[in-house]
Amino acid sequence: MTAKKGKIEIKKPPMLFEKTQALIADIQNELDGDLLVYWISDDGSLVEDDVVNFYQLITARVCKRKLYLFIKSYGGYGNGALRIIHLLRSYYEEIVALVPLDCASAATMLALGADLIKMGPLAYLSAIDTSITHELSPIDQKLNNKVSVSQNELDRVLKLWDMKQGKGNENPYGELYKYIHPLVFGAVDRASLLSIRLTTEILSYHMKDEEKARKISNHLNADYPSHSYPITLREARRIGLNVEALDEALNSKLLQLNNYYSEMAQHAHTDYDEANYHDNEILKVMEMVGEQRFYQKDKDWHYLADERRYIPMNDASSWRKLELQDNKITSTNFYIS
């Protein structure tokens, strides 16, 4: 699908609303609750603004007291996960998370808010230790971007320092402050404590054992050597989560739904010249029977050679809504701020 801009055809990703709607209706017919899809591409992120879309979707289409939430995301912001769970719990008595693929970081936090997590053979959760990109973060010399810093990384540097130097010798912070600003240390520590608090609060919506909730939260935030460590079904059971294997037939249909969304979210870049291009990529999709919402970038990028970075121009990015009304598909652009 293309649209002309001057003499250059602007690439646009395919809209597969009819296919996704047919599959979602088929899946929901086999479930004893509503089905809600929350699919985020590798370039997208779970953010607080998404709670507005959740609200508008479910208040218009909630039918039953049980929700099946299909989650696919590499993560985002924990505050958003808590707000989404709080909203969903306001309308549904029971939530089942359907996880056929990646459900990492803040998406793991979102899944923890479900009474039950169903995982397919390709599924994984992840550690949720927090990393942040602060205004005073170090700069990547190659890409000229600010580098994210995590509490786990800082703790390991200090641990290695003690192992090499011996406790009681030279204070390591004098050296570390040459590379990482003191305020970054403080911000990372605060973010780590926030992550633990958010996780514990999310679990408390259905887990009445407070000590168990704190134990799971601390484990997910501190006990893994890597933020991307894949927590499979077996590991999830071991740490005390209520998890089950996804039914093979349902897992297959969810993977097909993922294929449709992946096709929609393909890179849609149109090169004007060596320093300019247009981006029409779809970053995330939220969908229930009768309605699909997706966020699409729609902007030009210009490369500043002296600063070694791209800047956006002519930005018309927005949320788009597709609905089926009187057997016709209607399309609307809208904005959230």
Cα-Cα-Cα-Cα dihedral of 253, 265, 292, 9, to 10°? -130
The C-alpha atoms of residue 127 and residue 14 are separated, in whole angstroms, by 34
Q: In tens digits, what is the pLDDT along the chain, a chain of 337 residues?
A: 445 455 788 889 999 999 999 999 999 999 999 999 999 999 999 999 999 999 999 998 887 899 999 999 998 888 899 999 999 999 999 999 999 999 998 999 999 999 999 999 999 999 886 665 656 566 776 656 676 666 666 666 767 777 666 555 677 777 777 777 777 666 666 566 667 888 999 999 999 999 999 999 888 887 777 778 899 999 999 999 999 999 999 999 999 999 999 999 998 899 999 999 999 999 999 999 999 999 999 999 999 988 888 899 999 999 999 998 878 889 898 888 7
Instruction: Centre a 10 Å sphere on the Cβ of residue 101 and count the other Cβ atoms it contains.
Output: 20
Give, rounded to a whole angstrom, the gap between the first and last alpha carbons of the chain: 29
Q: Torsions phi, psi of 65, nearest 5?
A: -95, 5
pTM of the model: 0.84
Q: Domains for the chain: give ranges and CATH numbers.
A: 2-127+224-334 (3.90.226.10), 131-188 (no CATH)
Digit-coded pLDDT (tens) for 20-62: 999 999 999 999 999 999 999 999 999 999 999 999 999 988 8
Please write down the HEC assignment for all residues of the chain.
Answer: CEEEECCEEEECCCCCHHHHHHHHHHHHHCCCCEEEEEEECCCCCECCCHHHHHHHHHHHHCCCCEEEEEEEECCECHHHHHHHHHHHHHHCCEEEEEECCEECCHHHHHHHCCCEEEECCCCEEECCCCEECCCCCCECCCCCCECCEEHHHHHHHHHHHHHHHCCCCCCCHHHHCCCCCHHHHHHHHHHHHHHHHHHHHHHCCCCCCHHHHHHHHHHHHHCCCCCCCEECHHHHHHCCCCEEECCHHHHHHHHHHHHHHHHHCCCCEEEEECCEEEECCEEEEEEECCEEEEEECCEEEEEECCCCEEEEECCCCEEEEEEEECCEEEEEEECCC
Q: What is the pLDDT of residues 83-134, one digit of tens each?
A: 999 999 999 999 999 999 999 989 999 999 999 999 999 999 998 866 656 5
